[in-house]
Each structure stands twice: as structure tokens, then as C-alpha cells.
Amino acid sequence: MFCTTVTWDEIKQRIKKNNRPFYQLVEEYMPNANQYPLFLARYPYGQMITVKGQVHLPDAHGVSVDMASSTVSLKTQKALSYATTPLMLQLEQTAEAFIDAKNRTIPLNLFSPGDFFGLFEAVECFTGCRAYPAWSVSSGARSHFLMAPVSNKHGHQRLQRAFRIESPAPQTLYAQWGVFKGIAQREYSHAPWHTEVLLFSRQWFQPKNPGHQHLQNFLLKACWVQAELLRRKYEFNAYWEALAPTIRALKPNTYLMDTTKHLLHIFSRFIPGFQMTLSDEDAFPAQLIERAYIDVYQLPGYAPVMVTPSKTSSQGALFYSMSYPTLLEGSPAMQRRRSFRSELRNIAGLLSGFCQEFQQEAFLPYQGLTSDVFSFYHTGTQTDPTLHAATTLAHDPKLIALQQQYYPGRMFPAHSPFLYGAVKIETPVGEGDSE
């Protein structure tokens, strides 16, 4: 079964493991919790949990369907229709909140076991403030792709025959996800990768319930923490006014200005950047996809390094790609030809100037930040000291160790489209995400 009704007593030990404060609140203040229905949903990789805020549930085959579907009982629809998105708690693996911009996705947040989502929508019943979410949530990562080129016609035909998938050979990074989803869907019975999510029914939010005020306070506090990006953005804009003279002197265009802000937000862990991974099963069925491309597609010589959204990295660095922009604001200049080299040089100059100003103006969020944190890469031959050849990443000790652990003898895909123009952002290792 992909979606079942459970009671508090049946599920509370898993909640205790993943979110002890919430477990303690319910145990202490909500003696009737066993009377409030919960829905345990299992979403195979690639299935949608919400689409622009509208919750989807897995049917008997694990395929996500809209709540209005005839396969969803009227009783379930009523229990979960108290908000645009009902309150949900991640119990297993990772889910990604993202915006689909049609030719790219913009990762907004990643939910790990113990994280609530649907918070802004669920507190509608407390606040009366209507939420209008423009984002969706996927089972597993949505904004991830292989670095190596995988558009070879013959290799992709082998994948199509082996896994009975219809997706055409991906010509862009964005298009790879459809192929990954098809492979995982075909192999689910042999390699079952899924997220598990707990959905809370409307009965949990009745004002007459014992402990209602405690639950309300807990969720409102969780909303405040999860809204950190929005709060920091206002603080950041206020500080930004102090940099007006520097900005005017550098004369950046709007897109490069927005990109520079975005890089600073990634450094601060307000929003995800990208990390390079191998065989990491937290966000998608990595080993299944890697073996499919090595054994069936016959990936020539390259290690199947995957780029995955994250706020932290075990390698101590996150990346941003000019060829796959994930800006929350602004969009790439619609020029016939863009020079990533020129854009990277200008961004490097902006960051250098801003880092100096941060220290002089006591810019608290970035005190101690130096421009050395940011490195700039391009796949072409480099004659500019500002830029590094992407091939130098093949000599990164941490990436070498990762490759040697899983795929010794294979090459780092240094000519990846992701690295046509990329920024490496050094981050401390071992610190958790900011929520």
C-alpha cells in the first residue's frame, strides 16, 4: 500500500526518532491524539507530493494523483482539504521544494526526515492568512543531473530498450530528470526508492482539542524559522543600501547584481547551491541510475558524478552554474550570445569590492567573508588569472577520494555543460542546514 491511515500510537516512535520536540508536545499536551487520523504516504522517486501547493496522493500503483481524483476517497479528501496544502512531516529520505521555470528548475528547499512542510499553508486555519504557493514538492531531488554528456543517440536507445522508457535523449540538463524517473519507475520492484510523508488531518487543528494552543505555538514558531530566507532578504536589502556608492562605481548590470546576491545567499545557506556526489542515496536512487548509465548506456570513461541541490556539502564546497541559473529573482540576459568568461570576471570584481565594504561597514551577516571563498571556473583555455580551467577540479583531493571510492579509473567530467561557467563556494564542513 502506498497510502494508509495510521494512528498516533502506531507512528509515534518514528516521529520520536525524527522530531523529538513535536513528539514530546503531543505526548504531553494532546491526550486525544490517537483519535485524530494521520495518513502515511509512500512516494516513489520522481512522483509529485504537491503541484503548486495542491497535494497529490499516491494511488495503488504509486503514481501521484490529484486529490480530486476518483481514486481518492471523499473521506480522505475532506480530511485533508482544510488548507491549500495540509501539514506534512518528512519521515524517510529527501523531498525538494522547487519552482519549474520550464527550461530549468529553481530549488528552494530540501526536506529531510523530521522536517515539516506545508507549514505556511497549514497555519491558515490559525491566522486566516491565505497562502498562494507557486512551488511544488517532489519525491527525491528534482534539480539534479549527471555532469557527463548523456545525449548520445545510441546509448540512449539502449536505455529505452532496457527500461522501456519513452523519454527522448536529453539535450539539456533540465531534461535528464525525466529519464531518471523512467528508469526508477521501471525498476521500483527491484530497487524501491521512495520518500515517506505523514499527512495530518483537519481533526488535528480543531480549537476545542486539548493542547490546541501548544500546537499552534509550535507550528507558528516553525513557520518563523522556515521563513528565514524572507526575513534575511529584508535585512540584506537594508544593509545593501550602504553599498550604494560601490555599486554605482562598478556599474553592474541587473542580472550580474542579482547573481552576486544569489551567491552570497548560497554561502549563507539561505538557499541551496549544488554539490557533486556519487552513490549518495539520500536524494534519489543514485546507484541504480549510475549503473544504468555505466552498464547500459555505456558511459565512455567518465565517472557518473551527479550534481545535486544542497545547502551543505561533505566536500566542503557548493557550486553555482551560469549555464543553469537558479536565481530567485532576475533572469539571464536574453542575448544572442553570452560570454560566461566576461560575466564571471565581472562577478568576481563585484564580490571583491563587496567583501571589502562588508568589513568597513560592519556588515554583520558577512563579517569575516573574503573573496577567496569564491573560485571561478570555465571549460575553455584560460588566459585570465581570475578564472580557473574546469579540468583543475579533477585534481581536487576530495573529489579524487570520492571517485576512487566508487569508480576508480574513471575520469572526472571536466567538460560538463554545468562547468561552462561555474562558481565554487567554499563552505565549512559538518554544519547543518539553516532552516
* 255 in any annotated domain: yes
Last residue in a domain, options 224, 248, 282? 224
Share of the chain above pLDDT 90, in %: 63
- pLDDT of residue 431 exceeding 50, the answer is no
Predicted pLDDT of residue 337: 55
Average pLDDT over residues 175-197: 94
Q: Count of alpha carbons within 13 Å of 105, Cβ hemisphere only?
A: 27
Q: Which of 266, 297, 70, 351 is nearest to 180 (CA)?
A: 297
Do 59 and 192 lie in one domain? The reply is yes
Number of helices (H), then strands (E), belonging to the chain: the values are: 14, 18
Q: Which helix (H) or strand (E) holds 177?
A: helix 176-186
* 432 in any annotated domain: no
Q: Are residues 253 and 350 in contact, defined by beta-carbon separation less than 8 angstroms?
A: no
* 171 in any annotated domain: no
Predicted pLDDT of residue 432: 43
Do 397 and 359 lie in one domain? The reply is yes
374: cell is 569564491
* 303 in any annotated domain: no
Do 247 and 203 lie in one domain? The reply is no
CA–CA distance, 397 with 315 (Å, rounded to integer): 9
pLDDT digits (tens, 9 = 90+) for 79-100: 999 888 999 999 999 999 999 9
Cα→Cα distances 216→32, 243, 408, Å:
16, 40, 52
Q: Which of 22, 61, 62, 51 is nearest to 38 (CA)?
A: 22
Q: Domain range spanning residue 319?
A: 232-272+311-426
3-class SS of residue 16: helix
Burial of 64: CB neighbours in 10 Å, binned 0-12, 13-18, 19+: buried
Do 219 and 236 lie in one domain? The reply is no
At position 139, the amino acid (one-letter code) is S
- Whichever domain contains 71, its CATH number is 2.60.120.10
Do 193 and 267 lie in one domain? The reply is no
Do 193 and 238 lie in one domain? The reply is no
CA–CA distance, 362 with 167 (Å, rounded to integer): 52
pLDDT digits (tens, 9 = 90+) for 304-341: 999 999 998 877 899 999 999 998 776 555 444 568 88
Question: Phi first, then psi: what are they for 97, rounded to 5°?
Answer: -90, 130
* 177 in any annotated domain: no
Do 205 and 335 lie in one domain? The reply is no
pLDDT digits (tens, 9 = 90+) for 111-162: 999 999 999 888 887 777 777 888 999 999 999 999 999 999 999 999 999 9
* 162 in any annotated domain: no
Do 259 and 397 lie in one domain? The reply is yes
Average pLDDT over residues 11-23: 97
Q: Are residues 204 and 87 in contact, defined by beta-carbon separation less than 8 angstroms?
A: yes
Q: Greatest CA separation found in the chain?
A: 70
Predicted pLDDT of residue 257: 87
Cα→Cα distances 171→149, 168, 252, 417, Å:
9, 9, 32, 11
* 416 in any annotated domain: yes
Predicted pLDDT of residue 370: 82
- pLDDT of residue 368 exceeding 80, the answer is no
Do 250 and 134 lie in one domain? The reply is no
Do 247 and 343 lie in one domain? The reply is yes
At position 180, the amino acid (one-letter code) is F
Do 192 and 340 lie in one domain? The reply is no
* 300 in any annotated domain: no
Do 210 and 89 lie in one domain? The reply is yes
313: cell is 556539502
How many domains would you assign to the chain?
Answer: 2
